[in-house]
């Protein structure tokens, strides 16, 4: 029922419309049509009676036409118009009847009160004449000569003729209605394929996505709201697939980065416990254990930072500070590494002091990550340029090295968690692959931008902006 609910609803609506219209046509419609035909026929009979009185009966009373000639004319008119004509004298006796059954008799002999009601109302409807002619509708026209009533012209027709006309009209309407229902059925079928059918296809793919089958795609050859919805669902599936792949990759990378130091810690600890490592050499291996522990601590801290930014749980503590002073202080922490690698840090500032409004600790982390990468990937005896420039209401900070560079196909991926380029996987290139991801999150949390330009074998430049502090 759930799968075919829309089909059943459309079918029920179609049946209700079809049956309701059919019943209305054959009850209320039929009654209205019959009433209209009776009204038209009554008016028509009145016009015919008046015409007969003027054209055929008056000449008879003026002694211009003989009775036999008038009878012949009346029969011709009645046959042609498919009606019955009676001419009644002032005393109520029929002198002409195109059917011949009333002549020389009072018309009320067979239909009591017929003439009185005709004269009184000007017409009768559904009046029973006799068993041969049945019920009639009739109209009457007085015959006057020299201001004297000489009789009446009665034009009548059978009610069965009107019923037959009504049925003929209704049969035509019903045939037209059959075509209408066929067209309506086609319209409902089209509506089904435009609406519920496409919705069912979208729902089917959505159910596949819920089961983790993200390779399924919705293909609709339309250009409407359903097509737009299908494109949105397809995009959602692609994003969910990417997220699913990222989660798998994330778990694999975290497991790998935790496993290596834990294996070292466990191995050296058990070796010392079992006496495999003599006491005089334990200091060396304790330093290794401490180093691996520091790696785990740093990895855990980075993961917590990422989680905080992704979930909006990390709040920035904004303050005003001198970015140039922070750069100088951060650069000093790399003095030993730079001396060992023979790398020079070149600091260039447009002004001695540039106050910015940002989170002091987070921006210090950004600078540390960028300078650490620049020194790490620089060649020996090279220079790392660090500079600040004011651009409008922003301070532009640049960290540029002249090292190994980043491959063009890796530029867009360096911000991903755990991503490491092939050229950054040497023995001296230790890292978790989280530094740049954290750096980007911090800068964007300040509603600022960070960009990178790099050429393989030439070097890399990272630039980011911070807002200038308002001067009082």
The class level of CATH for 225-310 reads: mainly alpha
Give residue 398's pLDDT: 95
Give residue 130's pLDDT: 78
293-320: average pLDDT: 71
What 3-state class would DSSP assign to 430? coil
Q: What is the distance in angstroms between the CA of the first residue and the CA of the last residue of the chain?
A: 71
The mean-pLDDT minimum among 178-192, 298-312, 360-374 falls in 298-312
Instruction: Give me the architecture of the 318-467 domain, per CATH.
Output: 2-Layer Sandwich (3.30)
Give residue 411's pLDDT: 81
Q: Buried (b) or exposed (e) across 221-246, using 16+ Cβ within 10 A?
A: eeeeebeeebeebbeebeeeeeeeee
Those residues whose C-beta lies under 8 Å from the C-beta of residue 40, and which sit 6 or more positions away, are none
Give residue 249's pLDDT: 63
Query: pLDDT (tens digit, 9 = 90+) per residue, 118-138?
Result: 888 888 988 888 787 889 899
260-268: average pLDDT: 78
328-332: average pLDDT: 90
**Residue 28 predicted with pLDDT over 80:** yes
**Residue 422 predicted with pLDDT over 60:** no
The domain locations on the chain are 5-166, 225-310, 318-467
225-231: average pLDDT: 73
291-311: average pLDDT: 68
Which residue has 């106050």 as its token pair?
A: 355
CA atoms within 13 A on the CB side of 162: 26
Third-level CATH fold of 5-166:
Beta-Lactamase (3.30.450)
What 3-state class would DSSP assign to 82? coil
**Residue 80 predicted with pLDDT over 60:** yes
Give residue 427's pLDDT: 42
For 165-220, strand residue ranges (E) read: none
Confidence of residue 325 (pLDDT cuts 50, 70, 90): very high
Give residue 252's pLDDT: 64
Query: pLDDT (tens digit, 9 = 90+) per residue, 240-253?
Result: 777 666 666 666 65
Q: Measured between alpha carbons, how far is 102 from 116 in angstroms, rounded to an integer?
A: 16
Q: Measured between alpha carbons, how far is 249 from 236 in angstroms, rounded to an integer?
A: 19
**Residue 399 predicted with pLDDT over 90:** yes
């Amino acid at each position: 029922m759930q799968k075919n609910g829309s089909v059943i609803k459309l079918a029920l609506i179609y049946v209700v419309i079809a049956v309701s219209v059919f019943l209305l046509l054959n009850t209320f419609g039929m009654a209205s049509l019959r009433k209209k035909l009776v009204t038209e026929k009554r008016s028509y009979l009145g016009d015919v009676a008046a015409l007969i009185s003027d054209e055929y009966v008056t000449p008879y009373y003026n002694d211009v036409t003989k009775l036999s000639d008038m009878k012949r004319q009346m029969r011709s008119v009645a046959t042609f118009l498919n009606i019955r004509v009676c001419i009644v004298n002032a005393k109520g006796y029929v002198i002409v009847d195109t059917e011949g059954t009333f002549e020389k008799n009072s018309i009320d002999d067979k239909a009591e009160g017929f003439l009185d009601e005709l004269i009184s109302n000007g017409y009768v409807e559904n009046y029973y004449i006799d068993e041969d002619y049945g019920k009639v509708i009739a109209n009457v026209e007085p015959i006057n000569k020299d201001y004297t009533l000489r009789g009446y012209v009665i034009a009548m027709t059978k009610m069965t003729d009107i019923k037959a006309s009504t049925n003929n009209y209704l049969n035509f309407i019903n045939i037209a209605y059959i075509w209408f229902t066929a067209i309506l059925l086609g319209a409902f079928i089209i509506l089904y394929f435009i609406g519920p059918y496409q919705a069912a296809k979208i729902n089917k793919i959505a159910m596949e996505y819920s089961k983790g089958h993200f390779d399924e795609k919705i293909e609709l050859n339309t250009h409407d709201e359903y097509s737009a919805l299908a494109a949105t669902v397809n995009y959602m599936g692609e994003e969910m697939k990417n997220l699913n792949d990222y989660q798998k990759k994330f778990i694999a990378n975290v497991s790998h980065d935790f496993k290596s130091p834990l294996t070292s810690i466990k191995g050296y600890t058990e070796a010392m416990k079992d006496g495999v490592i003599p006491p005089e050499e334990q200091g060396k291996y304790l330093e290794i254990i401490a180093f691996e522990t520091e790696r785990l601590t740093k990895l855990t801290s980075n993961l917590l930072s990422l989680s905080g930014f992704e979930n909006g749980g990390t709040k920035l503590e904004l303050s005003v500070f001198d970015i140039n002073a922070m750069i100088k202080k951060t650069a000093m922490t790399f003095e030993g590494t730079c001396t060992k690698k023979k790398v020079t840090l070149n600091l260039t500032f447009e002004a001695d002091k540039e106050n910015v409004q940002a989170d002091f600790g987070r921006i210090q982390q950004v600078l540390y990550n960028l300078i650490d990468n620049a020194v790490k990937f620089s060649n020996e005896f090279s220079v790392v340029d660090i500079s600040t420039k004011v651009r409008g209401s922003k301070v532009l900070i640049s960290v540029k090295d002249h090292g190994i560079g980043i491959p063009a196909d890796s530029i867009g991926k360096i911000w991903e968690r755990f991503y490491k380029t092939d050229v950054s996987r040497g023995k001296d290139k230790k890292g978790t692959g989280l530094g740049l991801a954290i750096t980007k999150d911090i800068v964007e949390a300040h509603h600022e931008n960070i960009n990178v330009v790099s050429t393989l074998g030439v070097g890399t430049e990272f630039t980011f902006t911070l807002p200038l502090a308002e001067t009082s």
